Copies of this chain bind each other. A is one copy, B any other.
Amino acid sequence: MIPTQNPRTGEAAPTSLHPTEPREVREIAERASGAARQPRRDRRGLAVLLDAIADEVERRRADLVETADAETALGEARLMSEAARAAGQFRLFANVVREGSHLEAMIDRAGDGPAGRLPEVRRMLVPIGPVAVFGSSNFPFAFSVLGGDTASALAAGCPVVLKAHSSHPRTSALSLDVLQTAAGKCDHADLIAGIVYGQAAGSQLVQDPSIAAVGFTGSLSAAQALESAISQRPAPIPFYGELSSLNPLVVSQAAASVRADAIAEGLFASITGSAGQLCTKPGVVLIPHGPGGDRLVNALAERFRHAPGATVLNGRIRDSFHEIAGRLRAGHGGRVLAAATVDDARGFAVTPMLIEMDLPVVAESAEECFGPFAIVARYGDHGEIVDVVERMAASLTVTLHTVGEDPLLTVVPRLEPHAGRIVFDGYPTGVRVSWAQHHGGPWPATNTLHTSVGATSVRRFLRPVAWQDAPPSVLPLELRDEFDAIPRRIDGELHLAGSSAIRHGG
């Protein structure tokens, strides 16, 4: 039996769910494999499916939020907004699929080269195959069963097999029902292949020969265990991991001087929102020496001192919070600037905490502490900022607070190699889901070349195929001469939709 825990009390209650048996995992994977063998999916049908899922998420939002709040303690406001984001993601991908650029359709017509006839080559991206989607603890909707990996895999036309996160099994089961209910009214319902529960089932799943790619959000250690399971496969498959991130945030001398209080307010909200359990939480804050910096540090510390207690998602996160916070203090000389005086005893409650460390120690020893926690370090000149960012692990984001043509802007080129997104005068949390978004970065932030958020995340689940001198009947519709409903590249030239049908005899 799989239990569900109430983070606010720590109490566990039984569910009707069970760890998925090996035989059943195999059956679900085989079902996904069967779905992958079906004839080509039409783009419009996939868009209808994605929109139907968005509708169903919205229709059942209250129920989803209530269930998720009992399992995660993330609170109604945050969860309502997250469910809206999840619905929005499905709608974004419906638009992506309808627009059709993501297929990267290209046609090079036959011609004559120096060594004789050049064959015709037509290329398009096709679904990579069944995708295993691992739910995350901290986003029960937007990075779980109803999350971006599911939406982008379906947009690619890939069957999905879900792995429920142990922090919210009931939410996961309910989310699967949302998916299946919506899909039941559409074509392509077979793309929702099923869900598995339990760590052993997850490990079996990624080793199943049917699975062609894995999307995962979680800790570095959990990711490494999965990667090691994947490496035992005869044929390696892509593993898209969303792991840990320090997200340095740098405040310029000028910004500290003119808006210390406003930055303290925004930063506090960004560090402690969702109990600090966001992968883009600014974990390392670099503040200049001097009176502006002092005022910012004091204002931030003051807010931490009066912070209400925070409830984290599960006992593992709570224990890890205490362990890492302890290591940074005792082991690496972190000085507590402020900690709220709240009672840690009940459920998975933790005390929001701000510590200060010396810059060289941050460069060597900073590590992500998931929860309402941040490290402050003071800097003297811009060289120190570059040095610490270069020596720390790369991140999903780097943020700068500047004023006008601030001298701090000159370090941006040196910071770019160490993050996927550079944020100015704002906060890295609250990721916009849109066409141009990039949520990734150099290792270990996540895959260097791809993103887990935004329209282009669909690229992770597509692979190119080229057809050489193919009869039209075997070609995908989008590659046929007379088709022009999506953007295509013909003989190297990009054509917008409505303008790219191939004219013959010209």
Contacts and interface: CB of A to CB of B under 8 A. Distances in A.
Interface of A: 36-37, 39-40, 81, 84, 95, 99, 101, 104, 106-108, 113-115, 118-119, 121-123, 126, 128-129, 212, 235-238, 393-394, 402, 405, 409, 412-414, 416-417, 419-426, 430, 432, 434-438, 440, 442-444, 448-451, 454-456, 459-460, 462-471, 473-474, 487, 489, 491-492, 494, 496
24 contacts: A40-B413, A108-B432, A108-B435, A108-B436, A108-B437, A123-B437, A123-B454, A123-B456, A237-B448, A238-B448, A409-B474, A412-B474, A416-B465, A420-B463, A420-B466, A421-B467, A422-B467, A424-B474, A425-B469, A435-B491, A438-B465, A449-B464, A450-B464, A494-B496
A439 to B, nearest CB: 8
Contacts of A462: 449
Given A106-B436, A235-B442, A409-B473, A448 B463 contact: yes
Given A81-B114, A494-B487, A37 B414 contact: yes
A435 B106 contact: yes
A259 B213 CA distance: 42
B119 A436 contact: no
Given A432-B108, A496-B496, A466 B489 contact: no
A438 B449 CA distance: 18
Contact of A118 (B108, B122, B417, B432): B432
A440 B464 contact: yes
Given A36-B417, A114-B81, A494 B424 contact: no
Contacts of A119: 423, 426, 432
